Amino acid sequence: MSPKNHLKLRVQAGLKSFGMWLQAADPTFAEIAGLVGLDFVIIDQEHGPGGVQSAIDMMRALSGSTTTAMIRVPSSDPTYLKRIVDAGAQAILVPMVDTAVEAKTIVDACRYPPLGRRGHAAGVVRGARYGLSTDYLQTAHESLLIVPQIETVTAVRNAREIASVDGVDMLFIGPSDLSGSAGVLDQTGAPEVERLIAETVTAVRSAGKPLATVPRDGKSWQALFEDGFAVVASGSDIAIFRSAAATLAQEWRAYRDRR
């Protein structure tokens, strides 16, 4: 049988899920995230350096935990999507999805016929446990979480249609790129951005789909859960290490300069 997708099960059960970003493509950070008990991690391949092999290494590092690896792919390229689901990705986050047509193309690349157009190599791919999951062809779509990102003004206008595509499980609002699309780059708490986010929330909920996001100016991860978001990712391996290293360096300089 295919391995359980704990994040998808939590979302389906209406449970809130909390996770973080992994941008260094390092399995050690993935393993730590699993050991501390986060619900999920987002392995960022849009802004991070990783590829298919590093994603596999990180998923292996999580295999002893119930922490789900969500892979943010570089783009909606169907060829890469097919490769990453063959590699065993259980959750796919796709940036900059503007239309329902794009969302349908993404779903088709991730699901086998008759539900999609994914190529068949289930006898050997890691996603099927190298052929040991004999029901994989029939059940792979059930344990896959497909999440388009709403990051542009165009996507907001089409949010309900995107959410309504069969096979789209959840939508992820990206406030940083949305602020750029709205003409107020890096002002994620600007009134125009707040209006666009509220419009997206209304549209997606009307389609009956859950929502994910990240903290933004004026909205902590706790506040976002109170607002009804099902999934929130906060913090990243690089940012946490940078902050800790900078603090150590500051403490060293303060000590050194006293002497």
Q: Is 120 in the active site?
A: no
Distances (CA, A) of 170 to 141, 155, 175, 241, 243: 14, 14, 16, 30, 32
57 close to 78: Cβ distance less than 8 angstroms: no
Identify the active-site residue in 6, 47, 120, 141. Answer: 47
Phi-psi region of 5 (alpha: psi -120 to 50; beta: other; left: phi over 0): beta
132 burial type by CB count under 10 A (0-12 exposed, 13-18 middle, 19+ buried)? exposed
Retrieve residue 156's tokens.
């907001």
Cα–Cα distance between 165 and 102 in angstroms, integer? 10
Return the biggest CA–CA distance within the chain.
73
Cα–Cα distance between 24 and 200 in angstroms, integer? 30
Residue closest to 71 by CA, chosen among 91, 46, 88, 47: 91
**Helix, strand, or coil (residue 234):** strand
Q: Catalytic residue positions?
A: 47
